[in-house]
Structure 1
Amino acid sequence: MATLNTTTGTLDADACYPALLARDARFDGRWFVGVTSTGVYCRPICRVRTPKRENCRFFGSAAQAEARAFRPCLKCRPELAPKSDETRWSAMDASRTLARQAAAWLDACDDAEASVEQLAAVIGVSSRHLRRIFAAEHGVTPLQYLQTRRLLLAKQLLTDSALPIGDVAHAAGFASLRRFNAAFAEHYRMQPTALRKEGRAQPDEGTTVLRLAFREPYDVGGVLAFLQARAVPGVETVDVANAVVQRTVSVVHAGKVCSGWLRADFGRRPGQVWVEPSPSLWPAVGTLLPLLRRWLDLDADPQGIALALGEGATPGQRLPGCTDRFELAVRAVLGQQVTVAAARTLAARFVERFGAPLADAPPGADRLFPSAARMSAEPSERIAELGIIRRRADSILEIARRWPELRYASGLGSADDAVAELQGIAGIGPWTAHYMLMRGWSWPDTFPPGDVALRKALGHSEETPLSPKAYLAAAERYRPYRSYAVLHLWRT
């Protein structure tokens, strides 16, 4: 990986320029190149004529490039690039983990008046300390990072959607159209209306979709087969043959609940998934986008994962996440000590009784999974009547009632603390807590204790039994991608 020149704030050109010449897709989203002769920054895969080496400045993020007054390329569209791989969190020190979590919070920030002080309070550190660790990790201030994220989202919406410009400004997180126009003109040296005319997608590509890029290879069939086996009727439908998944979604954006459905299609263009949200979700697209990327694990590093998993690994192995942590938590509890098919049946009953119907939605994705707030007032008898063990019904209700205070719900803090907190809920053991982190937090390096299938895959037999300590020791070879190893071993 290229090293940072602390004097210039740029990456080592000797390491980056050969990859730029080769248009090496492995580095897409890991760094960007600013071209001094044009004032534009591009992805490493950009198909325009390669600039001269002396005109290139390499940056570790789009925010760093924009902080140096480069504007995004209209051809390769930096806003579509996969994000830099964040799956090394588990191997980082506490400060780096906090800086990455602060960036994740900013990615989903829907408060037009967000401040460093507000973020510091959420993270649990002083604003001064936050600025220091954030700049050390990301090379820019938190507000510079947030401004770049909002402008790139607006650029994507101007190009790929038919939203009115005022709605684009609101969806991207700007407090007013005037502020949006001023920021856009200052940073990109053009008006939003001019970009819409110049950069709009071609009619045959569609203009009402979100195009989300990922690094290839991507095991589309494996991801969709995993989701299909667990798809809850009414909430989610999966068509593996046509590489399409549809599901219902509820998100809170700017203090308002936005509910709808979406369709994700992997078959439109290599290296991209095209997502069509329902009209009701477009205003919340700023909150929706990071959820989609985690749900489909679009920012993973396939080469690093393959190296960790070793021989026999499926190329492009991914770790499917979730669009709703409460939904994942409930389904994890329902899946305790039963087959995947049985858990799906219980979840279907749960949704049929407590989920709200969604109007104007496609068949099979026309019912919302019940929220924590909806379930917190229910008696456990109503859940147990569905054939769900009373102890599990009580666990679901305790999760719902404690939801606002749970670390797991916020996605912030230490994974170990979140696991310990979850295990403090009656009926949730180590396996369930680790599974919830693995898919609810998209945590890359956890290994559910005591899993029967994993024990067998790691060499457990009656003749050579594995102790709990030996079981975890055998999984060490897969660090820092043990969560990916779980799916790999389940598969084999």
Structure 2
Amino acid sequence: MLEGKDKAWYAAFKSKDSRFDGRFFVGVSSTGIYCRPVCRAKLPKEENCTFYSTAAEAEQAGYRPCLLCRPELAPGTSPMDATASLVNRAVRLLEENCGTGQSLEEFAERLGCTSRHLRRAFTEEYHVSPVQYLQTCRLLLAKSLLTDTNLSILDIAMASGFGSLRRFNDLFKKQYRMSPTALRKLTPGEERQQTDVTLALGYRPPYQWSLILKFLAQRAISGVEVVDEESYMRTVRLVSGESKEVCGWIRVTNKPAQNVLNVTLSSALRSVLPQILARIRCLFDLYCDPEAVSEVLSSMNDIRPGLFVPGTRVPGCFEPYEMAVRAVLGQQITVKAAGTLAARLAEAYGEPLQTGIEGLTHVFPTPERMITLEGAIENHLGPLGITSARARTILELSRVFVQKKIAVNLCSRPEREMKILMDIPGIGTWTAQYIAMRAMGWPDVFLDTDYGVKKALAPFAPKEILTLAQTWHPWRSYATVNLWNSL
């Protein structure tokens, strides 16, 4: 019989409660498969269950992924769930770059540590090595592509980062005890997409989809983004593992019955699929645990009923440089005015792109493009309505990005990166914190000087607001977004 923590996990597995989805996986010895805690298959006996913190750990123990609940659709863990910041950042880095073929030494260098230290910390936290975790990321991505698309086996092997078809086939057979072709035959052809590539990304409910769409719609850059009542669409420019620049478009829609977001992308973007999925997780805050956030922030409703809405997410970003520039443009002007300036910048210096989608016409300019403009930057951006001071800030920000002096993503160390941002003339505390909240996924930003925050908490004085915010740690970014939404 199970005891202690395992018995509690079995009770959670028995309940099929979506709050536990992605927090652990269940290996079933009688079938040789592992499941998500929300799996609807017949409940196995207690003595046949073993519990694992990650899918990688279950696979290293010899279990195959369940074809019914599909572990590849399980949501990830939030930044506050990992006991080690380094390991948490490493997970995000591995997930985003599982298709690039980078070595463990390269990952460790980006994280600012040795590969030996990374292996030790990762194994202590997740009971598998970084290489084993990376292998599972690739296998589960390939499994999803085999199930949901009509991509060729070769294309799937390349998109998942295996480097060769033979290596993919060998590892797939070894881990899952069936060939990729055999798995594909289990999925009826009519259920797979014939043209566009669409994959699902799971989340924990509740999820306030309409609120995050509204937030993104208000800040959408015309020509680069289109947001309607049901979906978010944008143009994309990324660099593949072969150092080739690829451009295309993506569309994201919500499937609340399945607790997933569907991500559709143009065929040109297949080679950067892991990067796209990682950035969508950031943009739509799919690592969030709404139950943990609610436990802390539900007290906001004591201030005013409805001030906190369970399931509210912190909108992230897809392209960090684009978002950082947009933040600079938005200083001391309205959201609408900042959007107008960003659209002019995209049209003037972005690259035209044929998407076949009305309203998607350009990719946002790169930092390399901005620093190569000849002459004074004010002469280029001034006619667009951008002040000289902000033009110079954008130029210096571009240089910092090009020189790779800063890492603005979910793998970043926010405190370090914010200091670098604030060394740029024209970027103060508010802008640096806003970038950290949205581009670095920092869940504990509180913009106490923000006009909207002060308005939502009127008539509290500034000192009283700061005192209130201390009770909302470590989810003050979520508190900030709820205050904005209340307006």
Does the alignment reach a TM-score above 0.5?
yes
Residue identity matched to 1:84: T
Q: CA deviation at 1:277?
A: 0.3
2:233 match: 246
Between 106-115 and 347-356, the greater mean CA deviation after superposition: 106-115
Residue identity matched to 1:371: T
Secondary structure, counterpart of 1:140 in structure 2: coil
Residue identity matched to 2:371: S
Identity %: 43
Q: Structure 2 residue aligned with 1:333, among 300, 312, 328? A: 328
1:120 match: 108
Output aligned runs, 1:344-383, within 5 Å. Answer: 344-378=339-373, 379-380=376-377, 381-383=379-381
Number of corresponding residues: 472
Distance change (3 Å), C-alpha of 1:87 and 1:247: farther
Q: CA deviation at 1:114?
A: 3.1
Q: CA deviation at 1:384?
A: 1.7
Using the alignment, how far apart are the partners of 2:100 and 2:457 within structure 1? 50
Q: CA deviation at 1:111?
A: 6.0
| Contact 1:174/1:180 (8 A) holds in 2 | yes
Using the alignment, how far apart are the partners of 2:101 and 2:222 within structure 1? 40
2:26 match: 33
| Contact 2:437/2:477 (8 A) holds in 1 | yes
| Contact 2:346/2:363 (8 A) holds in 1 | yes
1:395 match: 393
Using the alignment, how far apart are the partners of 1:140 and 1:454 within structure 2? 43
Q: 1:88-139, CA deviations, whole angstroms, 9 ceiling, x for partnerless residues?
A: 56xx5xxx10111111111112565433322222212222211111111222
2:11 match: 18
Distance change (3 Å), C-alpha of 1:36 and 1:237: same
1:417 match: 416
Distance change (3 Å), C-alpha of 1:206 and 1:75: farther
2:291 match: 303
Between 266-275 and 479-488, the greater mean CA deviation after superposition: 266-275
Q: Structure 2 residue aligned with 1:466, among 443, 462, 467? A: 462
Distance change (3 Å), C-alpha of 1:392 and 1:64: same
Q: 1:199-218, CA deviations, whole angstroms, 9 ceiling, x for partnerless residues?
A: 35753887731111111110
Secondary structure, counterpart of 1:159 in structure 2: helix
Secondary structure, counterpart of 1:385 in structure 2: helix
2:96 match: 108
Output aligned runs, 1:85-164, within 5 Å. Answer: 85-88=78-81, 96-110=84-98, 113-164=101-152
Distance change (3 Å), C-alpha of 1:202 and 1:54: farther
Residue identity matched to 2:341: L
Residue identity matched to 2:272: A
Structure 1 residue 211 and structure 2 residue 194: aligned? no
Secondary structure, counterpart of 1:282 in structure 2: helix
2:313 match: 318
Secondary structure, counterpart of 2:471 in structure 1: helix
1:75 match: 68
Using the alignment, how far apart are the partners of 2:79 and 2:431 within structure 1? 23
Between 188-197 and 249-258, the greater mean CA deviation after superposition: 249-258
Tell me the TM-score normalized by structure 1: 0.91
2:431 match: 432
| Contact 2:99/2:159 (8 A) holds in 1 | no
Secondary structure, counterpart of 1:41 in structure 2: strand
Q: Unmatched 5+ residue regions in structure 2?
A: none
Using the alignment, how far apart are the partners of 2:271 and 2:445 within structure 1? 35
Q: Unmatched 5+ residue regions in structure 1?
A: 6-10
Distance change (3 Å), C-alpha of 1:413 and 1:299: closer
Structure 1 residue 271 and structure 2 residue 267: aligned? no
Between 358-367 and 273-282, the greater mean CA deviation after superposition: 358-367
Q: Structure 1 residue aligned with 2:477, among 467, 472, 483? A: 483
Between 125-134 and 264-273, the greater mean CA deviation after superposition: 264-273
Using the alignment, how far apart are the partners of 1:377 and 1:87 within structure 2? 40
Using the alignment, how far apart are the partners of 1:14 and 1:106 within structure 2? 31
CA-based RMSD of the aligned residues comes to 2.0
Using the alignment, how far apart are the partners of 1:112 and 1:426 within structure 2? 35
Using the alignment, how far apart are the partners of 2:233 and 2:149 within structure 1? 19
Using the alignment, how far apart are the partners of 2:189 and 2:428 within structure 1? 49
2:442 match: 443
1:184 match: 172
Secondary structure, counterpart of 2:252 in structure 1: strand
Using the alignment, how far apart are the partners of 1:253 and 1:434 within structure 2? 30
Q: CA deviation at 1:268?
A: 7.4
